[in-house]
Amino acid sequence: MSRPTVVTDIRDTALSVDEALAAVSHPRAGAVALFVGTVREHDEGREGVTQLDYSAHPDALEQLTAIARSVAEGDQVHGVYAVHRVGSLTVGDLAVVCAVSAEHRAEAFDGGRRLIEELKATVPIWKRQAWAEGDHSWVGL
């Protein structure tokens, strides 16, 4: 069996679900688990988020790639894709796209959950939220 495809990036341009699906496509993959994180208009129990500004530590891509490679070692996994956005985003924009393809749904779901949970818990990416009232808050510092 060939080695799984692993695609990771941190970029300041729009993200694409189609790109993620194409990247993990494999003739033996019977399932793809996809996670799409979008900018929402509320957080911290409060309404009125108008914009997010994401920034990443210089080592963030290295850490993201290590997580993706670890997920790719999973049983029957054929592809792993994890791309996070940085820069200014508005409500509805895609902030992160993750995909895992595997022979069966259980392995795809397990790999996909592990990928996004470890990304959120350990990759040093922070967001500054702007609120309609004119103030801001930092998340992830």
How does the average pLDDT of the chain come out, rounded?
Answer: 94
Residue 137: its pLDDT value, please? 86
Residue 30: its pLDDT value, please? 96
3-state class of 52 per DSSP?
strand
Residue 23: its pLDDT value, please? 97
Residues 67-80: tens digit of each pLDDT:
999 999 988 999 99
Phi first, then psi, for residue 126 (nearest 5°) are -120, 155
Residue 98: its pLDDT value, please? 98
Residues 114-135: tens digit of each pLDDT:
999 999 999 999 999 989 998 8
Residues 34-45: tens digit of each pLDDT:
999 999 999 888
User: What does pTM read for this prediction?
Assistant: 0.94
The Cα 15–Cα 1 span in angstroms is 30
Look at residues 109, 83, 111 and name the one whose alpha carbon lies nearest to residue 7.
83
The Cα 83–Cα 14 span in angstroms is 10
